[in-house]
Structures are given as structure tokens and as C-alpha cells.
A and B are shown apart, each in its own frame.
Chain A
Amino acid sequence: MSMKRCMFEDQIDSYLLNKLEGQEKESFEEHYFNCPSCFRQMEERDALISTIRHRGAWLFKDEAASEQRNWVPAWKRALSSFTPRQWATVGVAAAALLLVVFGVLPQFRGPAPQFVLSETEVVRGESLTLMSPIIDVKSVPTFFEWKSLGQEVEYKISLYNGELLWSAVTRDSRIAVPEEIRQRMLPSQRFAWQVRAFSARGTLIAVSSKVQFQINPAE
């Protein structure tokens, strides 16, 4: 119970926490075999440490919780104390992310859908108006006529009498009906005709409606 401190007292914690090794550990052990004061203190400390080890989770649950609460401000502090260099790193990381999202990821998408135009679908919304014949006629027509869509347009006319009777291509906005077709156009049959317009590159740009007519010879 003397007030004089033993120089080995400072090693009690290190020994009990297994932080002493080799000669240092042996010297300390030999010491407590010879120093009742140190041994008494060590027994007391050992009881404290083993209690803390066994019940620490329960003893310090509040401390653990408050440490978690402190964590958020620490995170905010870290953000506000970024050095320019750290900000540069963040910038580079963000740029890399954008590159991945807009540059790399689209390459892994499936192939773009292919747009196949059916016969009556058009790429541009041009309208093609048929002029003649659009109503029943008294005699077999000698030509078909429609509204021009301008230069460099190719028209494909189709004439049906239930099935395709005749088809022709022209750059004019009218076309004469060949004599042999005219001979096959019999009265009281129903006919329909339609014109498709193509651009110089062959793209379908307009389709007319299908106009029906009949040949009613004058009575």
C-alpha cells in the first residue's frame, strides 16, 4: 500500500491485452511473481478487462449508437473539406460514369429496329392526288393524270380490274394507256388505279388513294 509506484505497473495493461512479447513479457511475468503489489493490481485489472470483454456489447451499446450518429456529420465534413485535387478526382469519376452511360452502354443494346415499308406506307407525308379518271367514264380512258409532286419524282401507276391489269413508270404527271391495255378494259367492269411516287433515290414518298371507276358507254 505504499504510494511509491512500481515501474512495471505501466505494463499491466499491455500484458493483459497480449501486447507484450518475448523478453519484455518474460521480465514482466518474473516481476509479478516477485511483486505482490503488481500482482494484486493485475488481478483487479484482469477482472475488469475480462468483464469488459464478455459484456462489452451490452455495456457499450449506447457508445456504439452514438458513434454511428457522429458518423454522418463526419461524412458531411469530409465532403465540405475536399481539396481541389479531390474535387478533380470526383469530376473525372463523374465524366467516366457519363461516358459509360452514354458512350459504352448504348453499344450493348440490341440492333435498332428495321423499318420495312409496306406497299402503302410512305416516308414523307406528301399527298398524291389523282385527277382523271376519278369517276365513271363513258369511254375507255386514253390517259391517266395526277397532280405533280415536282421535279425528280418517279411515278408508278397500277391499274386493277380485280387483279393487276397494268403497271408502268413515268416521270410525267400523266401517262397514256397503251392500246393493248385499252382493248382489255371492257365496259361494265370495275377498275381501280393508284399511283406511287418515288424520290430520285427510290424512296417511296407518296401513295395516292385507290380510285375506282367504271366504263359506262353512252346509251
Chain B
Amino acid sequence: MEHRPPEIDLNEVVVKYRPVVSFKVKKSLGAQTPDWEDVVNEVITQVIEKVKKGEFRGESSIGTFIYTITSRRIVDHIRQKTKVLRSAPEPAALPDPCEDAERREKSRILAEAIQQLKPKFKEVLNLYYYQELSRDEVAQRLGISPRRVSERLNYAQKLLRKMIRT
């Protein structure tokens, strides 16, 4: 009955996986969905319950175990939402209530760093991330190889990382 695999520290699991679960939930539901945090909490609760019940048997990694629970909960949530939508109109979504002050400040700093990049890096960020061209399309537009596009993107990120730290 007590077939718990060794050394599952639930506190550690929660601390480590809450951001990962949050990321997946926000990505699937959209950060504008006001109840994404509720969904995350439900997932964490389920994980704790299931581990306590011994449902995690170590056949897969704990990451995969949590991923499976998260995916199912998201699917359930979307199904519920669809039912609710059929019976009652959805209240208007709030304009990004989750973008807290700290995140906004980080974004502002990052934007200023991007602004200071050399044109050749800004250009590649613009085409690839803003205009969402494919890597091959960006390569064609700039007259460089697709490999160079990736290198430039990575180098731009490296520069930004440095600029933000200092």
C-alpha cells in the first residue's frame, strides 16, 4: 500500500514545479484568463493528493507525472468553460490583471536594452519575433544563411542578458 518512491519532498516539488505548471497553464489558457491561478492551485493540490495516495509510482519522472496532471486539468477546465459559455455569457476579460508591477518593470528595462542594440541585432529580433517570419524567410530578407540568423538571435540574447545584469 505505501509504495511511495524514495525521497519525494513535496515542498521541494511544489517550489520547483509551481512556475513550470504556471507557465504551461498560462500558455494554454492565456495570461488574460483571470482564473489561470485557480487552475494552477488545483493542479498543485491534485499533485500533492496523488503523491500522498501513492499514485506516483516512479514509472515516469515526477516532471512527466506533473505534466500529465496539468494537461488533463487544462482540458477539463476548457471543457467546463465551454459548458458555462453555452449557458451564460462570459464576463468581459480584464485587461491583463496578471501583469504585475514587477513584471512590467522588468519588461521596460528589457525594452530599453533592446533599443540600445546595434541595428543588425534589432533587425533580426524585429523580423523573427515581432513580424514572426520563419528563420528561412529572415535569412532571405537579410541575405544571410539561416544558421547565421540563429547565431545572431542567440548573440542578441547574450548581449541583452549582460545589459540587464549590469
Determine the chain B residues whose CB is within 8 A of the CB of A47 once the complex forms.
Answer: 106-107, 110
Interface contact A56-B107, CB-CB below 8 Å: no
* Chain B residues, CB < 8 A from A62: 119
The total of chain B residues at the interface (CB under 8 A) is 32
A52 and B122: CB pair below 8 A? no
Q: Are A51 and B20 neighbours in the complex by a CB distance under 8 Å?
A: no
Report the minimum CB–CB distance from B10 to chain A (whole Å).
16
**Residues of chain B contacted by A52 (CB below 8 angstroms):** 114, 125-126, 129-130
Q: Is the interface of B mostly helix, strand, loop or mixed?
A: helix
> Which of B61, B106, B126, B157 touches A56 (beta carbons < 8 Å)?
B126
A53 to B67, CA, bound (A): 27
Q: A30-B67, A47-B107, A51-B107 are in contact. Are A59 and B115 (CB under 8 A)?
A: yes
Contacts of A33 in B (CB 8 A): 17, 20, 24, 63-64, 66-67, 70
Q: What's the nearest-Cβ distance from chain B to residue A128, in Å?
A: 84
Q: Please report whether the interface of chain A is mostly helix, strand, loop or mixed according to DSSP.
A: helix
Decide yes or no whether B37 CB sits under 8 A from chain A.
no
Option from A34, A36, A53 in Cβ contact (under 8 Å) with B64: A34
B34 within 8 A of A: no
Q: How many residues of A contact B (CB 8 A)?
A: 31
> 1/0 contact trace for A79-116 toward B, CB 8 Å?
00000000000000000000000000000000000000
Top 8 nearest A-B pairs by Cβ distance? A34-B63, A33-B63, A56-B130, A33-B67, A60-B126, A52-B129, A51-B107, A51-B110
